[in-house]
């Protein structure tokens, strides 16, 4: 399980606590330091069954391009605009941990 993680984010920290309490083995990816590629964002969108707007923080919506490919590129170039945390399981499922309890759905 990989978690796109920002240590200054309260939702990420709460998600970390939930995963640790559940005894889940997971990998922390500090996506601001190691930004996801366009391909990785497209993969996550496919796993989520979502569109770029669904994983964009509200402050990124005002400047979002109309073109989907350009929007995904914008997210790859500006990872701070991504909703967080994004949790991706090894078996091909994903969830945005807002609220963090949504992550528990992946553990069932």
Q: Where do the domains of the chain lie?
A: 2-107
Architecture of domain 2-107: 3-Layer(aba) Sandwich (3.40)
- At 82 the pLDDT is 97
pLDDT digits 0-9 by tens, 56-108: 999 989 989 999 999 999 999 999 999 999 999 999 999 999 999 999 989 88
By DSSP bridging, strand 27-30 and strand 2-5 are parallel
C-beta of residue 2 within 8 angstroms of C-beta of residue 29 = yes
Q: Which two tokens stand for residue 41?
A: 């964002």
Catalytic position from the list 4, 7, 8, 9: 9
C-beta of residue 85 within 8 angstroms of C-beta of residue 9 = yes
- At 107 the pLDDT is 87
12 is catalytic: no
Q: Which two tokens stand for residue 93?
A: 């499922």
Spatial distance between the Cα atoms of 69 and 76, rounded to a whole number of angstroms:
11
């Amino acid at each position: 399980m990989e978690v796109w993680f920002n240590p200054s984010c309260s939702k990420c920290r709460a998600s970390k606590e939930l995963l640790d309490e559940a005894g889940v083995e997971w990998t922390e990816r500090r996506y601001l330091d190691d930004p996801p590629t366009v391909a990785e964002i497209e993969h996550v969108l496919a796993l989520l069954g979502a569109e770029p707007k669904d994983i964009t923080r509200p402050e990124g919506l005002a400047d979002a391009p109309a073109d989907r490919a350009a929007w995904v590129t914008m997210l790859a170039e500006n990872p701070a605009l991504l909703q967080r945390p994004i949790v991706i399981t090894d078996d091909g499922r994903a969830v945005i941990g807002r609220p963090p309890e949504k992550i528990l759905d992946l553990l069932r």
